[in-house]
């Protein structure tokens, strides 16, 4: 009998484009300064893949931790401005370290700082995508982090796992590798459950993962395993498999490339969706919601049709035309999300009404649909549960 897991592992070599995320806990050896020898070691391995024509986009945390260390701050600040200041100071060390380390292999690096708006605005999304594709095309290695200077709580990704997944969507990555301080994902948080066992491989959307993933983290990491599972689900939307693996395992990246069975492989098990829909699905910020009646839920889920005003019973929030809204059934379960063609105020006037009445009710009609099917992503229930 063929061992499927070995088949998948050995096929990793043929995955052309990898997004590799290195977490704070790991980069700073859990709170001490940037672990330069460790960084040089990952860079050496990544350079090996690069020499084999694998395209790499690096998502690196560590700015806050590196900044704290430079500033002599021993405890992580709670004020957002202090965190931003630490990140701004630390980002300098971070990129300098990567530049020097990759420079030893004559590889150019490029700093990319992204915030939520960059990926939620269609135009900026396309610009970010083109720049990353161009950099990869000229064989430079983009080093991505969240743009901590311009973000506030409301628009923060908050953890680099989500950012890495959205970057994977953005560049249509073939594999997302999340390097962390545990050997992979365990059946429970190994910090508090010494009997927990390592999961080798499962579906990214497997429901049991939610109960196994703890949010608890070390001194500097954010999000724990929950954000990694969520990231794997986001990445799955562009058909990208995710590997969660220990960054301190000797030669981990090279060994994964060679097909070794390390860490936890969370499989996308779905075909890549159309690029625009990926962007919609990864669009974390929503401005409101629409409550659908049973008939609308059925046609969206079963027939993939557009959402019409007649199937909506309520608008919640202050959204405008073009905003992202979630569509929930009458018990509040999210079934889809998409770009709405009418504002909340307009929806309140046309909800439950046939399309022919829109012009009479509003005095004009922009579009027949509340959300056109091209701008609508219908998903299975638990995908956005943590948003």
Ligand X SMILES: Nc1ncnc2c1ncn2[C@@H]1O[C@H](COP(=O)(O)OP(=O)(O)O)[C@@H](O)[C@H]1O
Ligand Y SMILES: N[C@@H](CCC(=O)OP(=O)(O)O)C(=O)O
Residue set of the binding site for ATP: 21, 180-181, 222-228
Stretch that binds ligand X, among 33-41, 79-87, 180-188, 346-354 (CB under 6 A): 180-188
Which C-beta is closer to ligand Y: that of 120 or that of 160? 160
Candidates 221, 239, 282, 311; binder of ligand Y (CB under 6 A) is: 221
Residue with tokens 């008939």: 295
> Quick one: 134 or 197, whose CB is closer to ligand X?
197
User: What's the CA angle centered on 266, arms 265 and 267, to 5 degrees?
Assistant: 110
Q: Does 64 bind ligand Y (CB under 6 A)?
A: yes
Q: By rule CB under 6 A, what string of x and - marks binding of each residue 8-27 to ligand X?
A: ---------------xxxx-
Q: Which is nearer to ligand Y, 145 or 343 (CB)?
A: 145
Q: Does 159 help bind ligand Y (rule: CB under 6 A)?
A: yes
| Radius of gyration, CA atoms only, the chain | 22
Should residue 225 be labelled a site residue for ligand X when binding is judged by CB under 6 A?
yes
Comparison of 142 and 224: residue with beta carbon closer to ligand X: 224
Number of residues that bind ligand Y (CB under 6 A): 17
Cβ neighbours of residue 189 under 8 Å, at least 6 residues apart?
Answer: 196, 214, 216, 224, 225
What's the distance, CA 350 to chain centroid? 35
Question: Interface with ligand X includes 35 (CB under 6 A)?
Answer: no
Pick from ligand X, ligand Y, none: which does 319 bind, CB < 5 to 8 A by kind? none
Alpha-helix residue ranges (DSSP H) falling in 177-300: 208-212, 224-236, 252-257, 275-281, 294-298
Q: Which residues pair with 21 in a beta bridge?
A: 59, 178
Cβ 180 to ligand X, closest distance in Å? 4
In the chain, the DSSP E strands lie at 17-22, 55-60, 109-114, 141-146, 175-180, 201-203, 241-246, 264-267, 288-292, 312-317, 324-328, 334-339, 376-378
Residues that bind ligand X (CB under 6 A): 23-26, 61, 161, 180-182, 185-186, 188-191, 212-214, 216-218, 221-225
């Amino acid at each position: 009998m063929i061992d499927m897991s070995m088949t998948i592992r050995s096929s990793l070599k043929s995955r052309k484009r990898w997004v590799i995320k290195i977490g704070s806990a790991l980069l700073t050896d859990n709170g001490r300064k940037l672990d330069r020898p460790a960084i040089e070691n990952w860079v050496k391995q990544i350079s090996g893949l690069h020499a084999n024509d694998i395209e790499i986009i690096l998502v690196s945390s560590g700015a806050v931790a590196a900044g704290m260390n430079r500033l002599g701050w021993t405890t992580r600040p709670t004020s957002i401005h202090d965190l931003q200041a630490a990140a701004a100071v630390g980002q300098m060390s971070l990129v300098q370290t990567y530049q020097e380390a990759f420079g030893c292999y004559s590889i150019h690096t490029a700093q990319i700082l992204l915030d939520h708006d960059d990926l939620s605005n269609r135009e900026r999304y396309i610009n970010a995508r083109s720049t990353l594709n161009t950099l990869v095309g000229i064989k430079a290695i983009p080093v991505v982090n969240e743009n901590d200077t311009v973000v506030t709580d409301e628009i923060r990704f908050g953890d680099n796992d989500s950012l890495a997944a959205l970057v994977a969507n953005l560049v249509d990555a073939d594999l997302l590798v999340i390097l962390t301080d545990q050997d992979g994902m365990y059946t429970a948080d190994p910090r508090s459950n010494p009997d927990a066992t390592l999961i080798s491989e499962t579906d990214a959307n497997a429901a049991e993962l939610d109960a196994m993933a703890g949010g608890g983290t070390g001194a500097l990491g954010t999000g724990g395993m929950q954000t990694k599972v969520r990231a794997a689900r986001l990445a799955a939307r562009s058909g990208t498999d995710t590997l969660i693996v220990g960054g301190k395992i000797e030669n981990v990246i090279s060994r994964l490339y060679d097909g070794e069975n390390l860490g936890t492989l969370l499989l996308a098990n779905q075909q890549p969706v159309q690029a625009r829909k990926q962007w919609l699905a990864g669009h974390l910020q929503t401005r409101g919601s629409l409550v659908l009646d049973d008939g609308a839920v059925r046609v969206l889920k079963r027939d993939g049709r557009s959402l019409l005003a007649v199937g909506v019973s309520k608008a919640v929030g202050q959204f405008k035309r073009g905003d992202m809204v979630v569509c929930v059934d009458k018990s509040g379960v999210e079934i889809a999300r998409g770009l709405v063609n009418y504002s909340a105020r307009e929806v309140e006037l046309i909800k439950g009404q046939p399309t022919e009445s829109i012009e009479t009710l509003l005095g004009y009609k922009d579009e027949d649909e509340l959300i056109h099917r091209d701008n609508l992503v219908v998903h299975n229930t638990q995908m956005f549960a943590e948003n």
